[in-house]
Amino acid sequence: MSAALTPAEVLPAAATRGPLVLEAHALAKDFRLSRGPRGEVLSAARSVSFGLYRSAVVALVGESGSGKSTVARMLAGQERPTAGKILLDGAEIRPWARGTFRAYKGDVQMVFQDPFASLNSVHTVRYALRRPVRLHQRTKNREAIAAELVRLLERVRLTPAEQFLPKYPHELSGGQRQRVAIARALAARPRVLLADEPVSMLDVSIRLEVLDLIDELRSQFELAVLYVTHDIASARYFADDTLVMYAGEIVERGPSEDLTQRPAHPYTQLLLAAAPDPDRLGAPIEIEVAGDTRRAGSALSTTVGCRFAPRCPFADTRCRAESPPLLQINSQRAAACWRLDVAAPALVSETGEERSAPMKT
């Protein structure tokens, strides 16, 4: 079923968990910035391919503007791709189409970043949960619905449930609100959960609990989870595999632990060096950044060459002329960089022999 994914696009750690459920194949999204035939076009996502596997968490990591949320929104059926395909259980599906949207939503649900904005402030928790239960479980039996509401709240550990049902969002803390949003997503009994920065608006001390909850639900309901985040450290702890996005493209992919400990792409290296780290207490705050870090990578469709080249300390003429595809580093890892031999010499030399062997799909 992974026929659409090239070897460099397979997620090794997630794939061992379960079969492929949802697949992004060469997804692209262009936004026209100005009108007219010569208007500039921003490619927010360009040829993004990956799979989500049953019972596995895949992290999509990037800074603001990298296109990570656009990808999640396309998979959720909220944004229509400019090009590319979405496959559910191996069959192409057009989630944005009128006839398929509701059925698709029964399989693929999304949790948003801001639980203050995603819950309607004039409606109670009961109202927020009852609608999806009625729609997706196709029942009008009042007792069945009431029992299901309690079950949902208990699943996200909002107990006693009866106490939370009549509450309005403003009576709940941020963490509780996000739990309600997760319960609402579960109401459809989905197989895929797209979580777009689910904890970044929450207090530090409760983030971990919400992530743990999502992880527990993943294992309990065999959910395929996409975890969209700007926080690569949480991806390390939470996700089986990590995809790093930069200016609309996936620039590196691999098992989370290996990727964060031995980053290959210069951008991943920069991101990791910049992450706050108390365990480096006393180390200088300055990070080594060659190149011009203030020049943001351009995602304009007219950009030639590697989009990270203007900020990259290793960029050469080829990088500025030709956009690198994802290149296999070893059986687990891939990165879109022409200069991996310079950027990550240890990783490349260690796997040099492996790489020269022909890859099997």
Partner 1 sequence: MIPGSVNEAAPDRALDERKPVLEIRDLSIVYRAGNADVKAVDHVDLSLAPGETVGLAGESGSGKSTLALGATRLLRPPAVITGGSVIYRGGRVAPEGVEILDQNSKQLRKLRWREISIVFQSAMNALNPVLRIRDQLGDVLDAHLDLGREEKRERLVMLLDLVGIPRERLRSYPHELSGGMRQRVMIAMALAVDPEVVIMDEPTTALDVVVQREILAQVVELQQRLHFAVLFITHDLSLLLEIADRIAIMYAGRLLEVGTSDQIHNRPAHPYTRGLLESFPSVHGARIELAGIPGSPPDLRSLPPGCPFVPRCRHAGDRCRDIDMRPLPVAGSGGSHLSACPFVTADTPGMEGRRGRATPAVAVSPQERQS
CA distance 130 to 128: 6
d(C-alpha 178, C-alpha 173), whole Å:
9
Strand (E) positions, the chain?
20-32, 41-53, 57-61, 83-88, 91-93, 108-111, 192-196, 224-229, 241-246, 249-255, 327-328, 334-335
Pick the closer one to partner 1 by CB: 25 or 68.
68
Residue with Cβ nearer partner 1 (50 or 238): 238
The phi, psi pair for 166, rounded to 5°, reads: -85, 5
Among 203, 292, 316, 354, the residue binding partner 1 under the rule CB under 8 A is: 203
- List all residues 6 or more positions away from 5 whose beta carbon is below 8 Å from its beta carbon: 23, 25, 49, 50, 51
Min dist. Cβ of residue 77 to partner 1 (A): 28
Pairing of strands 192-196, 108-111: parallel
Other Cβ atoms less than 10 A from the Cβ of 215: the count is 17
Of 10, 13, 75, 185, the one binding partner 1 (CB under 8 A) is 13
Q: Give me the 50-89 binding string for partner 1, x by CB under 8 A, dash otherwise.
A: -----x-x-----xx-------------------------
Binding map of partner 1 across residues 18-57, x = CB under 8 A, - = no contact: -------------------------------------x-x
Q: What region does 247 belong to: left with phi over 0, alpha with psi -120 to 50, or beta?
A: left
Least distance between partner 1 and beta carbon 56 (Å): 9
The minimum distance between CB 272 and partner 1, in angstroms, equals 5
CB closer to partner 1, 2 vs 260: 260
Binding residues (CB under 8 A) for partner 1: these are 13, 16-17, 55, 57, 63-64, 173-176, 203-209, 212, 219, 230, 232-234, 236-240, 255-257, 260, 270-283, 285-287, 289, 293-294, 296
